[in-house]
């Protein structure tokens, strides 16, 4: 969907709000998630780190990591947004809900983004 999750919902496709599947995936991929959780200091040492903040805009404006880019979670899978996420960068995912940070990281990994991390 060009308009991401909002477009999916607007087209009346179902949105799953249950987190049971997510928890099962996280348990299955636990070792991978442990490896991708990173501190800001360690993230800054990576080759071409790109901090991507998926929190709501009010929280982002209140305070964010230097050089972080705000992305509306509801639009993250839109074509324009996906074109901006460069697979050559080390993507550092920022979200204050661990489950959502995990969903974002797992989705990007499944889309063949090689270097995805979650900021602790």
Q: What domains can you pick out in the chain, each with its CATH number?
A: 4-119 (3.40.250.10)
Give the pLDDT of residue 33: 65
Angle subtended at Cα 89 by Cα 115 and Cα 109, rounded to the nearest 5 degrees: 30
Contact 73, 9 (CB under 8 A): no
Which residues are CB-neighbours of 77 under 8 A, at least 6 positions away?
A: 1, 4, 5, 107
pLDDT score for 107:
83
Distance set, CA 91 to CA 11, 18, 103 (Å): 30, 26, 14
Residue ranges, the chain, pLDDT below 70: 1-5, 8, 12-33
* Predicted pLDDT at 118: 93
Q: Residue 79's pLDDT is what?
A: 76
β partners of residue 51: 92
Q: What is the reported pLDDT for 10?
A: 76
pLDDT at 21: 59
Euclidean distance between CA atoms 53 and 66, whole angstroms: 11
Q: What is the spatial distance between Cα 21 and Cα 24, in angstroms, rounded to a whole number? A: 5
Answer positive or negative: Cα dihedral of 75, 78, 80, 82. Answer: positive
- The CB density around residue 17, as the number of other CB atoms within 10 Å, is 5
Helical spans, DSSP H, in the chain: 4-10, 20-28, 30-36, 40-44, 57-62, 79-84, 98-110
pLDDT for residue 65: 95
């Amino acid at each position: 969907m060009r308009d991401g999750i909002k477009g999916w919902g607007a087209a009346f496709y179902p949105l799953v709000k249950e987190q049971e599947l997510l928890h099962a995936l996280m348990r299955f991929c636990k070792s991978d998630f442990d490896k991708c959780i990173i501190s800001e200091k360690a993230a800054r040492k990576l080759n071409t780190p790109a901090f991507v903040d998926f929190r709501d805009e009010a929280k982002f404006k209140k305070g964010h990591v230097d050089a972080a880019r705000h992305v509306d979670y509801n639009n993250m899978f839109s074509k324009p947004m996906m074109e901006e996420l460069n697979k050559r960068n080390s993507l550092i995912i920022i979200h204050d809900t661990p489950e959502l940070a995990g969903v974002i990281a797992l989705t990007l990994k499944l889309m063949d983004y090689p270097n995805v991390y979650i900021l602790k």
